[in-house]
Chain A
Amino acid sequence: MKQIRAVMVGQPNVGKSSIINAISGARLHVGNFAGVTVEKKEVTLQRGENDIDIVDLPGIYSLKAYTPEEHVAKRYLIEGQYDVIINVVDANILQRNLILTLQLLDMRRPMVLVVNMVDELEEKGGKIDADMLSTLLGIPVILTSAKEKRGVDEVVEKLIEVYKQKECACKLFYNEKIEDEIEKLSHILLKSPHFNDPNLARFYVIRLLENDEEIYKIVHDLPIFLELHEALGESIKRLKLEFDADSVSDIFADERNAIARSIVMQVMIQPQKETLTDKIDKILIHPILGLPIFLFFMWALFQITFEVGSIPMDYIDETVSNFASWLRTILPAGDLNSVITDGVIPAVGAILMFLPNILILFLGINLLEQTGYMARAAFLLDGFMKKFGLQGKAFIPLVSGFGCTVPAYMAARTLKNPKDRLITMLILGFMNCSARLPVYVLFIAAFFPTTSAGNVLFTIYVGGAILGLIVAKILRAILFKGEPEPFVMEMPPYRFPSIKVLAMELWIKAKLFIKKAGTFIAGAAMIIWFLSSYPVNEELQAQYQQKIEQASSKTQKVALMNEFAAKNLEHSYLGQIGKVIEPIFAPIGFDWRLSVATLSGLAAKEVVVSTLATLYAVGEANEKSDTLINKLRENIDFKTAIALIIIIMIYSPCVAAMSTFYAEVPQWAWRAFYTIYPNVLAWLAAFGVYHLLELLGY
């Protein structure tokens, strides 16, 4: 048995996932690259006496890494343990793709070139001479179509062949003057005792000439560093002078571009001008029609996500609570029973409930991405979003936020630039999610006339969105001051998506969500449950049990039970915490009940309503309950109600959402900032409005 390890590299959208999927007899494994939230796809398969393992690296445009995905891919290419590189390129844009191929060839490692999407090229009347291309590059070339399953298994055969040869026969050279400098510098590098591979030395030198910081860090600790550093400076000076260029990167860029051009000229019969994408684009990014069409797509996506998604939601909810009740009767009574049936199962149920929403939303987003429409949406909206320091693509997670913040945080993954992604995620909570609706409905019903209810609700939603955009602008100005916000995005041609790839992506998303957020959410929900049910006050319990038993009428019994629940919550840790933090909320008119309700909203926003119901001893209640509405009117004044609405609008989202944020953002500083700033902002806003209303005489 031989173990062959290969990596698959290519620019985004060349069809790597599709090829991985089309290899017969391959088993897919999904995970994360160590320490980062970048998906790692890996397939294993057997051919004859060989065990083959292919790691699919995230798509990269060039070895000059830019996004976290690209850094991961680059690091793996440089430091990872593998035998063969499989470079996938798109036949339709061969010239551009070959530039990455040339950078990879600098490594002089065993490599196979896979020219994918030949079906598209041929359909348009184009053609590629694979033999000629192979001769020019010195590596095997395979023409494939993942869509038609053409040539895919040949990739595996060639991979084994190349593995056996060990050596890369590539013989591409740059301009003589550049090669001279490379030679000189390699010589110095090879003096170092750790360094005995001339191919690797050549690669490092090329990267160093291109001012590659990651390689710089690697050679920094070598004993010959000083000598190398000096010689490097001289070489760069000479080359810049010789080629009259601003930087050596530019020289290499021109060189590679020229090589790629001449190769394409020799091996490719250019296709007739394609027109389908042109035609579709005439409509979809039409200056006037483009936006309404996009808004329609968005409307449809959210309609489906939250309408269709809510059908299994109720079903899941019911099944989970039935299961919990059944288990309650089976297990022996006591703490363990309570932990499982009141703590763990509802928490896990809460995670599962989000799953339909997430899956549908992701199916939609993947569809938008795979067909190429996502780039158009970003194109249309970028001008508007840029005003707030955001990027066109941020629109989709932001709008998803109106449904549920959890999938919205995950949707922010479509933003490849880490800063754009972070800012978007930091303001997502201001898009009012659907779980906050019951709280608003309750307070609007209690404090506003029915006629203006709609307007108030609308103001809350629009106000949240505007606040979010303003905060985005401020965050961009303060936290990322003066940094450039590049926006250079490929607009891929429109393509029919592959069902198999969609299904695979969906499966990956579902698995990662359940695994990661699941552990966080279950844990956090259990803590809240614990805080609200402990410590048990035995005395109180005995007292009320007696009273309830003695009660004569049924209504009296219920009233006593409600009172008991309220007392119990008051004495629980959560109630105690509520009392401790009461002074914090006192300036905005909250008593300890509202403080506790606000805290409990961290478990899930709709819990605020049920907590208030318990605390005002009205028992089971929803936002339409008249008793609760009356109780609120009696106990809370108008300005306090407004303050509460503002707090709910701005403060931290629920633990499910927070855990998702933590899972997506690994840096502790940002996690801390995210945990603190909305609460401070919410308090300040509520304080301001409360006192303003007070001045106005409310």
Chain B
Amino acid sequence: MKVTQMKIGQSGIIKKITAPEPIKSRLFAMGVAKNNRLTLLDHTIKKQTWEIEVEGTRIALRKEEAEGIEVEP
């Protein structure tokens, strides 16, 4: 499922990342890579901005980027 479909507090293993460069590299450099564990921490009321945690790093993303990350709960 996509990150945007997760519930707050839910976690899963990252399976696939779809994003154009240079966003993909940036995500990767922050630890968003295949087989790492991702937890959805929060999103703003309008679901425009999302906060996730991957291997100890908290990351803020926009909806567009969050949609490109697929996890397996």
On A, residues with C-beta under 8 Å from B are 11, 61-62, 64, 66, 92-93, 95-96, 99-100, 249-250, 253-254, 257-258, 261, 277, 281, 285, 287, 375, 378-380, 382-383, 386, 392, 484, 486-493
Contacts and interface: CB of A to CB of B under 8 A. Distances in A.
User: What secondary structure prevails in chain A residues at the interface with B?
Assistant: helix
B23 A491 contact: no
B26 A382 contact: no
B29 A64 contact: yes
B7 interface: no
B44 A489 contact: no
17 contacts: A62-B28, A64-B21, A64-B26, A93-B31, A95-B55, A99-B28, A253-B25, A253-B34, A257-B34, A257-B36, A261-B36, A277-B58, A285-B51, A382-B62, A486-B23, A488-B23, A488-B26
B55 A488 contact: no
A61 B62 contact: no
B1 interface: no
Contacts of B65: 486-488
Contacts of B61: 487-489
A680 B23 CA distance: 36
A379 B34 contact: no
Contacts of B21: 64, 249
Nearest to A288: B45
Between A62, A250, A484, A486, the greatest number of chain B beta carbons within 10 A of the residue's beta carbon is seen for A486
Nearest to A253: B28
A285 B42 contact: yes
Contact of B57 (A96, A379, A386, A487): A96
A93 B57 contact: yes
Between A62, A285, A487, the greatest number of chain B beta carbons within 10 A of the residue's beta carbon is seen for A487
Contacts of A61: 26, 29-30
Contact of A62 (B29, B34, B42): B29
B27 interface: yes
Contacts of B28: 62, 99, 253, 257
B43 to A, nearest CB: 9
B50 to A, nearest CB: 9
Contacts of A490: 30, 57-60
A261 B27 CA distance: 17
Given A62-B29, A281-B41, 7 more contacts: A64-B21, A95-B56, A96-B55, A261-B36, A383-B48, A486-B26, A488-B60
Given A93-B56, A383-B49, A257 B33 contact: yes
Contacts, number: 114
B61 to A, nearest CB: 5
A490 B46 CA distance: 20
A488 B64 CA distance: 10
B33 A491 contact: no
B60 to A, nearest CB: 5
Interface residues of B, number: 34
B35 interface: yes
A484 B48 contact: no
Between A11, A66, A277, A379, the greatest number of chain B beta carbons within 10 A of the residue's beta carbon is seen for A379
Nearest to A258: B35
A609 to B, nearest CB: 44
A486 B66 CA distance: 11
Contacts of B57: 93, 96, 490
Nearest to B14: A257
A250 B49 CA distance: 26
Contacts of A492: 58
A265 B33 CA distance: 17
B56 A96 contact: yes
Given A375-B60, A379-B60, A488 B27 contact: yes
Given A257-B34, A490-B30, A382 B51 contact: no
A488 B66 CA distance: 9
A528 B16 CA distance: 61
Given A62-B29, A253-B28, A257-B35, A382 B23 contact: no
Interface pairs A-B: 4 shortest CB-CB: A383-B48, A61-B29, A62-B29, A96-B31
Contacts of A100: 29
Contacts of A96: 29-31, 54-57
A64 B20 CA distance: 13
Between B31, B35, B65, the greatest number of chain A beta carbons within 10 A of the residue's beta carbon is seen for B31
A100 B26 CA distance: 12
B58 A380 contact: no
A472 to B, nearest CB: 17
B48 A386 contact: yes
A415 to B, nearest CB: 15
Contact of A383 (B34, B44, B56, B58): B44
A95 B33 CA distance: 11
Contacts of A261: 35-36
B29 to A, nearest CB: 4
B5 to A, nearest CB: 19
A254 to B, nearest CB: 6
A379 B42 CA distance: 10
B68 to A, nearest CB: 11
A491 B55 contact: no
A253 B31 contact: no
A96 B22 CA distance: 18
A484 B23 contact: yes
Contacts of B34: 253-254, 257
Contacts of B20: 484
A631 to B, nearest CB: 52
Given A379-B60, A486-B26, A488-B27, A254 B48 contact: no
A386 B60 contact: no
B29 A491 contact: no
Given A62-B25, A386-B62, A379 B51 contact: yes
B56 A64 contact: no
A66 B26 contact: yes
A548 B7 CA distance: 84
Contacts of A99: 28-29, 31
Contact of B49 (A93, A257, A382): A382
A64 B22 contact: yes
A95 B60 contact: no
Nearest to B55: A95
Interface in B6-21: 20-21
B56 to A, nearest CB: 5
Given A62-B25, A62-B29, A488 B59 contact: yes
A209 to B, nearest CB: 14
